[in-house]
Structure 1
């Protein structure tokens, strides 16, 4: 290039030249649209004007294929014979779709219906130790409920079936056998009865009448839930939630097995 001569304009305009520019839908553009949209795949030069519609819509085709009229243009005026379509005879017969019954192997008769020899309804063996209808008690108390302490506007409190006595040392003795009771026992005021003496007097009424024994209440010491070590202080051995659960269960079972 000589000095003073103007540079010739570049053939590349906006990043392109005389080459074919790739366009959608035949090519994929290198942008987000090309990544999301699927380009058109097929014949690129196929459009509405590419079909031969004139072969089926020309006036000559109408004259050759449609029946015309010789009596005018009113209803049922076409008298020419309609076009007869040649029936196709090169089709398979209905027998070709059916299998040959001669090739089916001979089936044997089942020994039992549905090839099953099991009983339809299995025999249930009932136990002979089930009590009969007359073995149940019909005069038992119904609608039994656990005894609760209620207060107006306050919470209900469970009445335990066995009263727990919290004491460092259990010094109670039975008034009949003069021995320290083991386990649960009965007490009314200052009188204490062990379980054996209470049951004996309840049956034979030797020293106390049943009307008097009804005032006794079943009690137990707190050795199962507290540890005193001979002092007034106590160390809790069982969680309160577990004790409440056991008391509710014991109160419910006491309604049926006192």
Structure 2
């Protein structure tokens, strides 16, 4: 028919509307239906339709519970119960407590303080040991070797004695005008040999002690390198021995600067 006068179809998607099986009243024939149990009985029953007050009352329990003729419940014991007789002939709690007023039994020691050894060892009787005033008690504690740190890198030791690597060493002491032998001291362009530095540190003849504190101990590289008059160098000592010497000097400088 035209212009929308067709009657409504009785079949929707190939099934009847009234007889279509739906969950939860019906069950599906697949894995979901095996685990989900459909609702049986009256599906439209509300929560207020149950008689909980009547089924859970004390009167209902007594009426439904099986009882015997003697008044006992089902499967209950009917023999006479034995009365509990309290025991009174037991010791009091303070019987087990130790008598603190009793005199303890003491044993006579065979030696004072149970020690039979020599009181003063033979080594302590010698007079060649240093006395208490020999040691320095006012020295700096918790001394640590100075290390160079970097973020994400390894720590490296800061050498106490700086090594000057040059083909020829032309440094001269400003006081004695001689070329230093061994370790010497340098501050910018001021150079002092070890003997002149120690003399001025003690007597402050030419340089004051605060100014001498800025000097750093340096060393010529002739013991570890061989230049031969050129800037190239040939290593004479292994790196492990050099690092071992630097660690030893850094530790000893904490006590003998």
Give distance in 2, aligned partners of 1:152 and 1:257: 32
Does 2:153 correspond to 1:154?
yes
Q: Distance in 1 between matches of 2:216 and 2:161?
A: 8
Unaligned residue ranges in structure 2 (runs of 5+): 1-115
- The correspondence of residues 213-232 of structure 1 with structure 2, limited to 5 A, is 213-232=212-231
Aligned position for 2:171: 172
SS in 2 for 1:196: helix
C-alpha distance in 1 between matches for 2:230 and 2:247:
29
**Residues 232, 135 of structure 1: alpha-carbon distance in 2 compared, 3 angstrom cutoff:** same
The answer for the alignment partner of 1:188 in structure 2 is 187
Count of aligned pairs: 140
3-state SS of 1:186 partner: strand
Which whole-Å CA distance do the structure 2 matches of 1:120 and 1:203 have between them? 52
Residue 223 of structure 1: SS of its match in structure 2?
Answer: helix
Give deviations 1:8-27, integer Å, cap 9, x for gaps.
xxxxxxxxxxxxxxxxxxxx
The secondary structure found in structure 1 opposite 2:251 is helix
Task: Please give the per-residue CA displacement for 1:110-141, whole angstroms capped at 9, x wherever unaligned.
Answer: xxxxxxxxx97596244322111222211100
Query: Could you list the runs of 5+ residues in structure 1 that have no partner in the other structure?
Result: 1-118
Q: Deviations over 1:66-115 (max 9, x none)?
A: xxxxxxxxxxxxxxxxxxxxxxxxxxxxxxxxxxxxxxxxxxxxxxxxxx
SS at match of 2:163: strand
What is the RMSD computed on CA atoms of the aligned residues?
1.7
- Which residue pairs with 2:207 in the alignment? 208
Inter-CA distance 124–200: structure 2 relative to 1 (3 Å threshold): same
1:140 and 1:225, CA in 2 relative to 1: closer, same or farther beyond 3 A? same
> What's 1:20 paired with?
none
CA distance change for structure 1 residues 141 and 123 in 2, over 3 Å: closer, same or farther?
closer
- Counterparts of residues 6-155 of structure 1 (less than 5 Å): 124-126=122-124, 127-155=126-154
Give structure 1 regions of 4+ aligned residues with deviation exceeding 4 angstroms. Answer: 119-123
In structure 2, the residue matched to 1:245 is 244
TM-score of the two chains, using structure 1 as the length reference: 0.52
| CA distance in 2: counterparts of 1:129 and 1:146, whole angstroms | 34
User: What displacement does 1:242 show?
Assistant: 1.3
1:157: Cα distance to partner? Answer: 1.3
Map Cα deviations across residues 3-44 of structure 1 (whole Å, 9 max, x no partner): xxxxxxxxxxxxxxxxxxxxxxxxxxxxxxxxxxxxxxxxxx
Deviation at 1:228, TM superposition (A): 0.7
